[in-house]
Chain A
Amino acid sequence: MSIIVGYVPTPEGAAALNRAISEAQKNQSRLVIVNSSRGDALVDKRYVQAEDLTAVTQRLEKEGVEHLVLQPVRGNDAANEVLDAAEEYQADLIVIGLRKRTPVGKLIMGSTAQQILLEASCPVLAVKAGA
């Protein structure tokens, strides 16, 4: 069994990761970190680079959590990548970070969180930054 966390290098993403680590420690389950990019822009701030990634994995090793890092660049959006991973690794929990978005912003940009919440077949834990 495993816990999936959608990770982006933002306060929300960090909060989600923190919570996911403590959940994984509590349940003794494997932690699957998903950090994806559509790969259509030359620069994507939300795609974690090697140095930051080693920092994350080092921390996980120190805390003794069994983990797996996925960084798919396949042109899918983040929600689909998280849902795919949840299915593939038979997740019993998905942890995501939430941020505030205005109704107009949500109308235009859509919401990754909403898609995960609605389409996931397992419980979803939504964490806010600073929580």
Chain B
Amino acid sequence: MDILSSLMDGFATALTPMNLLYALIGVLLGTAVGVLPGIGPAMTVALLLPVTSVLEPTSAFIMFAGIYYGGMFGGSTTSILLNTPGESSSVITAIEGNLMAKAGKAAQALATAAIGSFVAGTIGTALLVVFAPIVVQFAVSLGSPSYFAIMVLALLAVTAVLGSSRLRGFASLGLGLAIGLVGLDIVSGQARLTFGLPLLADGLDVVVVAVAIFAVGEALWVAAHLRRTPLQIIPVGRPFMGKQDWKRSWKPWLRGTAYGFPFGALPAGGAEIPTFLSYVTEKRLTKHPEEFGKGAIEGVAGPEAANNAAAAGTLTPMLALGLPTNATAAVMLAAFVQFGIQPGPLLFENEGPLVWALIASLFIGNFLLLLVNLPLAPVWAKLLRLPRPYLYAGILFFATLGAYSVNLQAFDLVILLVLGTLGFMMRRYGLPVLPLILGVILGPRLEKQLRQTLQLSAGDVSGLWSEPIAIVVYIIVALVLLWPLLFKAWRRARPRTAAAVAGGTVAGGPAAAGSTADRPPADGPTASDATPANHGQEKS
């Protein structure tokens, strides 16, 4: 009952007119950036960080929560009407959704996506309410060695499992950790990577780094690929669903939620794998197999539910452990730090009212999104007619203003440009952005835990595996790292059976998690969608 009363307090905070207004702003902004390919919630939250520093932390987070969920909702509109995923997690939705729209069922596709997202988001948030405190109870008992191990696992898993190339992932992670090292050593006070510049002694501001990598890098990348043949958007009226559509949608929604939440909550979560799994499951279980590939409603309902449930799931490790596993959560974590709030297991205890208001606002935001999305989908689609030069000029302007306003130092603008160029080059050479931003944000905390561990064990390396949980986590780390090697060796030894099994397990539901994770499902559709703008943001 303790949880329930805290949650009710949260609702009381989130339902004040001012906070409701921020939730609405967040939801509208989130949907807008979700609809536009190439601009994601991570970039938006990063751009808003400097602006929100004058707000109450609670209001700021209520707005961020709206943006986060809104991005998920908005992405599906673009996928369905334009066959260009607005977000990486709606890649799968684009397959069946666009076919449905072409077959004249755009209204039903949009409706099942929006209502499915609402159902999954609400269930996912409820699961978050249940599980986050449990995880916290477990997490407060963890010592530095275990915590360090879990952070290593999260970093490696995000780097190695998501994205197409491990090498590029690790290169990106290395860059991020290096950026995180800049500044004074926390224990000895020695200057690291400051190149003798006193301005670098405080380290790089995470806000500036996030704005540079997400906003400036992406804007430069889009500017470099500005012209493309315009697509035609499929005209649509007000989304609605018939009785038959409801009948065919509700089971995929629930199954999608069941896939999405656990994958989102895992350190190497992300929304791509569960949406893919959900699609494959629906394809196998459907009573209308002849419609798959021609626009089946199940193929939209399941993946859309999965991606929203994953979005809720991602918040579990973020709030309970201080471990972000996607780009938006990472930037929100940076926001915690900006407000002087210590993320981690103690967050619920120290900042209870804020966290519960944030969770309550997720419920409210979900509901607002349904209201905003169902009748207004055609209006949102109009956003796609915006000339992109205006849009990206605006983003660059905001990015510059924001980066300057953090510390009112012209030097930050130099950093912004340098790192913005880095972000551009990363997109140019296909390096995922997420490991870098995680490296920057988690790097210093990782180091702190490592130093603490080693101080406790008086410099003895064995202190790192002095706790049983740490050992278990290291074994998982080893498995994550060695998995592709083992898989390859096994495949080489028994080429035929392996191929047959791989084909079979994809349809085999949860058991296939490992094997599908190894060949990122998002890759196929992403590569074929030929949207340069998506390239960088897709990974986040």
Considering the chains assembled together, what is the distance between the CA atoms of A39 and B227 in angstroms? 5
Considering the chains assembled together, what is the distance between the CA atoms of A51 and B84 in angstroms? 19
Q: Is there contact, CB below 8 Å, between B230 and A37? A: yes
- Find residues 34-52 in chain A having any chain B CB closer than 8 Å to their own CB: 37-45, 47, 49
The digit string for B213-257, where 1 denotes a CB below 8 A from any CB of A, is 000000000000011111111000000000000000000000000
Considering the chains assembled together, what is the distance between the CA atoms of A8 and B119 in angstroms? 43
> Contact partner of A40 among B36, B227, B231, B232, CB < 8 A?
B227
Considering the chains assembled together, what is the distance between the CA atoms of A38 and B386 in angstroms? 12
A75 at the interface (CB under 8 A from B): yes
Residues of A within 8 A of B226 (CB): 39-40, 75
Tell me what chain A mostly uses at the interface: helix, strand, loop, or mixed: loop
Q: Is there contact, CB below 8 Å, between A42 and B227? A: no
A74 at the interface (CB under 8 A from B): yes
> Contact partner of B227 among A43, A45, A75, CB < 8 A?
A75
Count chain B CB atoms within 10 A of each CB in A37, A43, A49, A75 and give the residue with the most.
Answer: A43
Instruction: Give the size of the chain A interface in residues (CB under 8 angstroms).
Output: 14
A125 at the interface (CB under 8 A from B): no
Residues of B within 8 A of A42 (CB): 36-37, 82, 84, 228, 230-231, 384-385, 388
Considering the chains assembled together, what is the distance between the CA atoms of A92 and B37 in angstroms? 43
Q: Is there contact, CB below 8 Å, between A41 and B386? A: yes
A65 at the interface (CB under 8 A from B): no
Closest CB-CB distance, A9 to chain B, in whole Å?
10
- Find residues 474-519 in chain B having any chain A CB closer than 8 Å to their own CB: none
| Contacts between the two chains (Cβ within 8 Å), count | 53
Closest CB-CB distance, A43 to chain B, in whole Å?
4
Residues of A within 8 A of B388 (CB): 40-42
Residues of A within 8 A of B37 (CB): 42
> Contact partner of B389 among A37, A40, A45, A49, CB < 8 A?
A40
Instruction: Give the size of the chain B interface in residues (CB under 8 angstroms).
Output: 19
When C-beta atoms are compared, the residue in chain A nearest to B35 turns out to be A42
Q: Is there contact, CB below 8 Å, between B385 and A40? A: no
Residues of A within 8 A of B385 (CB): 41-45
- Find residues 69-118 in chain A having any chain B CB closer than 8 Å to their own CB: 73-75
Count chain A CB atoms within 10 A of each CB in B230, B232, B386 and give the residue with the most.
Answer: B230
Tell me what chain B mostly uses at the interface: helix, strand, loop, or mixed: loop
Q: Known contacts being A41-B385, A41-B386, A43-B384, is A73 close to B227, with CB within 8 Å? A: yes
Considering the chains assembled together, what is the distance between the CA atoms of A40 and B392 in angstroms? 11
Q: Is there contact, CB below 8 Å, between A43 and B229? A: no
Closest CB-CB distance, A128 to chain B, in whole Å?
25
Residues of B within 8 A of A39 (CB): 226-230
When C-beta atoms are compared, the residue in chain A nearest to B37 turns out to be A42
Q: Known contacts being A43-B82, A43-B233, is A38 close to B387, with CB within 8 Å? A: yes
Residues of A within 8 A of B381 (CB): 43
Residues of B within 8 A of A73 (CB): 227-230
- Find residues 116-138 in chain B having any chain A CB closer than 8 Å to their own CB: none
When C-beta atoms are compared, the residue in chain B nearest to A74 turns out to be B227
Considering the chains assembled together, what is the distance between the CA atoms of A34 and B381 in angstroms? 27
Considering the chains assembled together, what is the distance between the CA atoms of A44 and B382 in angstroms? 10
Count chain B CB atoms within 10 A of each CB in A37, A39, A40, A42 and give the residue with the most.
Answer: A42
Considering the chains assembled together, what is the distance between the CA atoms of A47 and B227 in angstroms? 13
> Contact partner of A44 among B82, B84, B230, B389, CB < 8 A?
B230
Residues of A within 8 A of B228 (CB): 39, 42, 73
When C-beta atoms are compared, the residue in chain B nearest to A9 turns out to be B232
Residues of B within 8 A of A75 (CB): 226-227
When C-beta atoms are compared, the residue in chain A nearest to B230 turns out to be A44
Q: Is there contact, CB below 8 Å, between B229 and A40? A: no
Considering the chains assembled together, what is the distance between the CA atoms of A122 and B233 in angstroms? 36
When C-beta atoms are compared, the residue in chain B nearest to A43 turns out to be B384
Closest CB-CB distance, B424 to chain A, in whole Å?
19
Considering the chains assembled together, what is the distance between the CA atoms of A44 and B233 in angstroms? 9
Q: Is there contact, CB below 8 Å, between B229 and A41? A: no
Residues of A within 8 A of B84 (CB): 42
Considering the chains assembled together, what is the distance between the CA atoms of A44 and B388 in angstroms? 12
Considering the chains assembled together, what is the distance between the CA atoms of A47 and B229 in angstroms? 9
Considering the chains assembled together, what is the distance between the CA atoms of A43 and B227 in angstroms? 12
Considering the chains assembled together, what is the distance between the CA atoms of A49 and B230 in angstroms? 9
Q: Is there contact, CB below 8 Å, between B227 and A41? A: no
Residues of A within 8 A of B233 (CB): 43
The digit string for A43-68, where 1 denotes a CB below 8 A from any CB of B, is 11101010000000000000000000
Considering the chains assembled together, what is the distance between the CA atoms of A49 and B231 in angstroms? 8
Report, nearest first, the 6 A-B pairs whose CB atoms are least far apart: A44-B230, A39-B227, A43-B384, A47-B230, A49-B232, A40-B387
Can you sample 13 A-B contacts with CB below 8 Å?
A38-B227, A38-B387, A40-B226, A40-B389, A42-B228, A42-B230, A42-B388, A43-B233, A43-B384, A43-B385, A44-B230, A45-B232, A73-B229
Question: Contacts A38-B387, A43-B381 given; 20 further ones with Cβ under 8 A?
Answer: A37-B230, A38-B227, A39-B227, A39-B229, A39-B230, A40-B389, A41-B384, A41-B385, A41-B388, A42-B82, A42-B84, A42-B228, A42-B384, A42-B388, A43-B384, A45-B232, A45-B385, A74-B227, A75-B226, A75-B227
